[in-house]
Amino acid sequence: MLKSTSLYNMYLLFIAGLGGLLYGIDVGVIAGALPYLQATTNYTPGQLSTVVAAVLLGSVLSSLFAGALSDLFGRKKVMLLAGVCFVLSVPVICSPFGFEALVVGRILQGAAAGLIGVVVPLYLAECLTADKRGFGTGMFQFMLTVGLVFAALAGIVCAKYVDGVVAAEYVSITEQTEAIFNAKDFAWRAIFWICAIPGVIFTVGALFISESARWLYGKGKKEAAFKALERSRGAGQAQKEFDEMGSEASDNSAKAEQADKPKDSLIQKKYIIPFVLAVVILACNQATGINSVLAYIVDVLSQAGLDGSVANQGDLVVKILNMVMTVIAMVLVDRKGRKFLLTVGTSGIIIGLLGVAFLFLRAEQGMVNYTNEINPASYNVTVSENVINEKTGLEERGADGKVLTKDVKYAFRVEMTPAIIEEITDKPFVPSQAKIVYSINGETSFKTIVVRDDTPSSQLEFKIPAVDDQVFEIKSLEVGPLPSAANGWLVTFFFAIFIAAYAVGPGVCVWLALSELMPNRIRAMGMSIALLINQGVSTVIAGTFLPVVGNFGYSTIFFFCAGCTVIYWITAVFFLPETKGRTLEEIEAHFEGKKKL
């Protein structure tokens, strides 16, 4: 029996890991597919942004109902629903029905992520033994990081395929153009199809797991609940937990009768503290800026002083470090405890963010405002440019083989070269960065370019396309020395501290906090509400990251995230109880004042 329970628990971890993998793929798959999608469609930037954001919409909607669905139909059935949504999303996305189908497919992917984010940690918390619960939830987080890498590798494989097609020899330009277009069109679809494979495995695998014993007991299916416990515990431990569940159910039933109140109300006093704790931890977890850092780290490192290729290497190092430290957290979480890892992790995040913030503050203080030096003739200009094929992204040529040109109107166009920077700064040229903040119809944006003496002048232009009835305004143009490569590596070092600390602490423990702190009777619905708040904070941070950077600099956003992490640290140190090795019933008893942890 011991061997069979051990094998079954390993199987549970495998399925949970696949759930985390799908969650990570949902987040990361669009990064590799988007360049080819841009090259093979006529979608506007707004439409492409909708495609990227549709996952978030689907995730928010499904998170809102995930708890209620799992309470009504069971944890296992909702996991199956998540797997089916993920698998079905791929043929919808890759169908020939255009933009609408693409958005619907991405919403389905987001719905799968939202369901998985609630139900898999919930299922693990209820099904694994107390001494394995931390490791199991850590597996979910670890495989989430693997999902990010898996999606990136799928993109790399398809990129190499496209590169091979581009490098091949062709009889004519027309043949080459068509071949490259077809390769890119195949590539973005292939990335999604590759990522569907683990979705199929997860869906089929979920058919063979047992339903949550605690859900079955709550539905009055006591015999089935005991069998589910026995499958993962063995007879002795299963009987002990079964008796605890019965005792808790009796106590709650008696209290409900005496108080004549609905037993599942979230506003009962004994539920408020664990619910608020979970919400604060989840909100602060996103307020560390983790998602924005992972999304923009290449650009951030470029601004810190690393050139493009080296910045990409820094990004890869950070993702690998994230995976490695998650493995370490999985080993430590059931030994050292959640409170300890959260305390250490949030401390490291604060150090990492403050280090990055101060380095950028030093660089930003060297920037000088040259807004008044902009030539008014730069406004409303018409420029003759090469004609680019909308479908292939290649230059179009006439019958004589010459590149065709056309006149293009811009609201603003300015070229930044070493000579121009010397002129406006009245100093000998050094590698520099120039940042322009502008607004179109009141919506603020910014662009930054790095100016080196060996950079082709074609890469040194700010060009804002003209649109009918637009109101265009220059807010500022700042020019300053480009930070050194040493500064860039120092920023990378502090980012490494940030990522390592996040992975070893909040990365793993946040899912445990979500599932362990909630009392049994409100766990599913409470987790849905808390995760919805979590995603809301994530959306706000992601939506304000670039505008804040444009108006106030990188230092401001990282100082803000560090401040939010201080709140996170205070919560972990002074308010969070240690739940290591405790059953869910013991944790609930603590918040009811019956037992100290």
The mean per-residue pLDDT over the stretch 215-238 comes to: 83
595 close to 270: Cβ distance less than 8 angstroms: no
pLDDT tens digit sequence for 267-308 = 666 678 888 888 888 889 889 988 777 767 767 887 888 775
Span 416-435, average pLDDT: 82
Phi, psi of 477 (to 5 degrees): -130, 115
- Compute the average pLDDT of residues 230-258: 70
DSSP summary character for residue 577:
P
The 3-state DSSP class for residue 566 equals helix
Residues 6+ positions from 125 with CB-CB distance below 8 Å: 133, 137, 512, 515, 516, 523, 584
Look up residue 63 and give its amino acid: S
Residues 6 or more apart from 191 whose CB is under 8 A from it?
Answer: 29, 32, 33, 36, 151, 154, 155, 158
Task: Calculate the average pLDDT of the chain.
Answer: 80
CATH no. of 1-209: 1.20.1250.20
Enclosing H/E stretch for 415:
strand 405-415
The answer to whether 138 touches 326, Cβ cutoff 8 Å, is yes
Q: Is 100 exposed, middle or buried (0-12, 13-18, 19+ CB in 10 A)?
A: exposed
Considering the entire predicted model, what is its pTM? 0.69
Measured CA to CA, the distance from residue 55 to residue 291 in angstroms comes to 14
- CA-nearest of 149, 116, 139, 185 to 28 is 149
Split at pLDDT 50, 70, 90, the class of 377 is low
Calpha distance 318→498 (Å, rounded): 10
d(CA 231, CA 218) in angstroms, rounded, equals 18
- For the chain, domain boundaries: 1-209, 216-259, 368-479
Higher-scoring residue by pLDDT: 256, 146? 146
The two counts, helices (H) then strands (E), for the chain are 19, 7
Q: Name the strand (E) or helix (H) holding 424.
A: helix 418-425
- Per DSSP, 396 falls in state P
Model confidence at 91: pLDDT above 90: yes
Task: Give the pLDDT mean for 131-151.
Answer: 78
Q: Is the pLDDT of residue 348 over 50?
A: yes
User: What pLDDT band is residue 375 in, cutting at 50, 70 and 90?
Assistant: low
Tokens of 522: 């409100």
Report, in this order, helix, strand and coil percent for the chain, each rounded to 5: 70, 10, 20
Q: What is the pLDDT of residue 386?
A: 79
- What is residue 62's predicted lDDT score, i.e. its pLDDT? 87
